[in-house]
Amino acid sequence: MELNITYKAFFILLRAGLWSRKPETECFPLSPEVWKRVYVLACKQTVEAIVYDGIMQLPDDYFPPKDLLLKWIVMVDSIEERNRQMNRVVGELHDIFTKNHIMVFLMKGQGVAACYDNPLHRVCGDIDWAFPDEDSFDRARRLIKMKGIKIEKHVRLELFYMWKGFIAEHHRNLINIDNPFLSKYLLLVWAID
C-alpha cells in the first residue's frame, strides 16, 4: 500500500513540477518513510529538481521532514550550478565552432531544457552536437584534435571527448532512423527469446 502511495505522490509532484501547477493533495501528508522513497525514486529517474518544484507548491504542512528537505535543497542547488557550468561550456564550444566557420546544432540536453519552466532543474548529461555535413563534422574533429583534446572514441561517424568536465559528442546525423531488425544485437536477443 505504501509503495502505491510512493508512486502516486511521485507522479503528482512530478506533474506539478513539470507544469508549474498546484498538486492534488489527496495522498498528502506523507510519512517520513514514504518521503524517503519518493526522494530515492526522483533521484533514480533524475527528476529530483522537478519533483522539488512540485513540493514547493504544496502547503507548508505537507512538506517532507526538515532533514530530507534540506538534503533535497542541496541537491537542487548542485543541479542548478552544474547546469550553469554546462551552459557556459556549450556557449564556449559553440563560439569555437562558429568562429572557425563550422555549422553545428545543439541536440537534446540543454536545448530541450530550454523548454522547461525552469531549465536549470533538468539534470544535465553530456553535450550532443550535430553537424549538417561530412565536411563540417571532419573539420570539427580536426579542430578538437588541434586544441590538444584527446578524442576518446571514434565509432561510426561519432566522436566523444571531455571538455572542461563535460562529455561532448559529435554526431554526423541530426536524426538517425535505423531499422532495428538490422541490428545484430537485437536479432540475437530476439533469437534467444
- Orientation of helix 66-99 relative to helix 134-146, angle to 10°: 110
Residue 10 has pLDDT above 50, yes or no: yes
On the CB side of 168, CA atoms within 13 Å amount to 25
Q: What is the pTM of this model?
A: 0.81
Question: Quick one: the chain helix, strand, coil %, rounded to 5?
Answer: 55, 10, 30
What pLDDT was estimated at residue 191?
41
**Residue 72: pLDDT band with limits 50, 70, 90:** very high
Of 38 and 109, more confident:
38
Query: What value does the mean pLDDT take over residues 40-46?
Result: 97
What single-letter amino acid sits at 136?
A: S
Closest CA to 4 of 43, 30, 23, 24: 30
What pLDDT was estimated at residue 152?
79
Q: What's the rounded Cα separation, in Å, for the pair 28 and 81?
A: 31
Q: What's the rounded Cα separation, in Å, for the pair 135 and 144?
A: 14
What pLDDT was estimated at residue 174?
62
- Report pLDDT digits (tens) over 76-112: 999 999 999 999 999 999 999 999 999 999 988 888 8
Secondary structure letter of residue 76 according to DSSP: H
CB 49 within 8 Å of CB 123: yes
pLDDT above 90 as % of the chain: 70
Secondary structure letter of residue 169 according to DSSP: E
What pLDDT was estimated at residue 162?
92
What pLDDT was estimated at residue 176?
55
Q: Is the dihedral of CA 126, 129, 135, 140 positive or negative?
A: negative
What is the maximal distance between C-alpha atoms in the chain?
59
What pLDDT was estimated at residue 189?
42
- Report pLDDT digits (tens) over 137-191: 999 999 999 998 888 776 555 888 999 999 999 988 666 555 555 545 444 444 4
Which three cell numbers, joined as nine digits, stand for 45? Answer: 529517474
